[in-house]
Amino acid sequence: MNIILLTLITSIFAAKDSSKSARRTYLVKKDLFSLLKFSQFSILVPENHLVYRIKSYYTFGRKLEVIHAINFTILNSTSNEWIPGKIILTPAGLDSKFIIKWDGYSIAMTTKFGSLTTTFEYEYHSGILAKFKKRISSLVWRTKFDLQVFSNDLPDTIYFIGLAMKEQNTKSKG
């Protein structure tokens, strides 16, 4: 009985989640380690063409640590202005939760305990804006994610930066 109920609940969540089709999909690959680079990611469209690269650098002697907040700026293509933002790690029990503040938006980026999927949703509204899932093969080989964007409300860069910060914190925790 418990197995049937769990299967039914899982099926309901899967149906709810898949009812909205992605507007854009990306393959995000964590690049191989370099001595001067921290985490670097290549972002590809389904045809395997490189469209973005995220790079970050660190200073020698700095150890890996959990990042609690970062500031960033993203160009708003409508206003042609650089808009500052912030990602903040928030307490969420065993789950992993970040709040992203940018251009008046407040987005919750959440990973349930034991899950390989992270979702982006407005903090005070329902509806998934985007989600990424770490591929199972990443547990033993090069880290790869499948990123799906369901909304045009925010620039995709928000999701790329969130993914990079989440992966850095996962790596730092061991």
Residue 51 and residue 43 in contact, taking contact as beta carbons nearer than 8 Å: yes
pLDDT at 167: 83
Closest CA relative to residue 88, chosen from 68, 103, 66: 68
Three-state DSSP class for residue 169: helix
d(CA 132, CA 167): 11
Percent of the chain residues past pLDDT 70, beyond the cut: 75
Query: What average pLDDT does range 139-153 have in this prediction?
Result: 88
Please, which residues bridge with residue 25 across strands? 148
Of 37 and 48, which is predicted with more confidence? Answer: 48
Q: Measured between alpha carbons, how far is 132 from 147 in angstroms, rounded to an integer?
A: 4
Q: Are 117 and 18 in contact (CB under 8 A)?
A: no
Contact between 27 and 156 (Cβ < 8 Å) = no
> At residue 30, does pLDDT exceed 90?
no
Place of tokens 């620039």: 155
> What pLDDT digit, counting tens, does each position of 76-133 carry?
888 899 999 999 998 888 888 999 999 999 999 999 999 999 999 998 887 899 999 9
**3-class DSSP state of 168:** helix
Pairing between strand 41-44 and 81-90?
unpaired
Taking the whole predicted model, whether its pTM rises above 0.75 is answered as yes
The 10 Å Cβ neighbour count of residue 163 is 25
CA dihedral for 77, 51, 47, 34, sign (positive or negative): negative
